[in-house]
Amino acid sequence: MLESLAVILLCRLYRKKADPVSQRIYREYTLSPEMLRRSREARKSRGRRRQQNGPAGRVYNLELLFSDINAEHFANSLSKPVLSWTLRPSRSVLGSYEFDDDIIYVSSVLDSARVPLYVVRYILYHEMLHVKYGTRVQGGREIVHPPEFLCEERQFPDYRAANRWLDAH
């Protein structure tokens, strides 16, 4: 593994592509369950935590929406993570689930009367699917949107309408 790491670093230094064998050996090591556990622990202890804005927004309350979506789509099977609007309104990242800290963030740009309720529900539903499915390693990569995730995401009643609205705005 150390030899593979050295090859990869030297290739990056000289702006060359590392050979597939070295890349595979390095990926298998870094994506092993033990290394994933250790890297999550390191991020938790060293990383800067995002500040939380709480679940109650000006227009929408994430706690109420989570309870409704959990009952409607998950038979109340999901344990509730911490829910928070972001402090900064992002238009590029509308939601995220922090696996390490069990926090769902929804961009505060969506906490507006101009944003339809079904759009906010869709974004929260997507993040709740992350809670349900977690991550897995497959083919040397960490997969956060496995096929069953994407299939279930398309089952959301307003999936098409929400995506059309997001594309238009």
Whether residues 34 and 67 share a domain: the answer is: no
Whether residues 70 and 135 share a domain: the answer is: yes
Whether residues 14 and 92 share a domain: the answer is: no
Mean pLDDT estimate for the chain: 91
Whether residues 74 and 42 share a domain: the answer is: no
Whether residues 70 and 15 share a domain: the answer is: no
Give domain status of residue 56, yes or no: no
Global pTM value = 0.78
pLDDT in tens, 94-121: 999 988 889 999 999 999 999 999 999 9
Within a 10 A sphere around the Cβ of 115, how many other Cβ atoms? 17
Residue pair 110/119 in contact (Cβ under 8 Å)? The answer is yes
Q: How many domains does the chain have?
A: 2
Gap between the Cα atoms of 69 and 95, Å rounded? 16
Give domain status of residue 13, yes or no: yes
Whether residues 34 and 86 share a domain: the answer is: no
Whether residues 69 and 25 share a domain: the answer is: no
Any residues with CB less than 8 A from the CB of 17 and at least 6 apart, and which?
A: 11
Four-CA torsion 88, 78, 102, 146, nearest 10 degrees:
-90
Gap between the Cα atoms of 126 and 150, Å rounded? 9
pLDDT in tens, 37-76: 888 777 767 765 667 789 999 999 999 999 999 999 999 9
Gap between the Cα atoms of 85 and 124, Å rounded? 11
CATH code for the domain of 137: 3.30.2010.10
Range of the domain at 25: 2-46
Place of tokens 């961009």: 107
User: In which element (H, E) is residue 115 found?
Assistant: none
Gap between the Cα atoms of 31 and 59, Å rounded? 41
Instruction: For residue 85, list its beta bridge partners.
Output: 106
Whether residues 32 and 75 share a domain: the answer is: no
Residue pair 24/140 in contact (Cβ under 8 Å)? The answer is yes
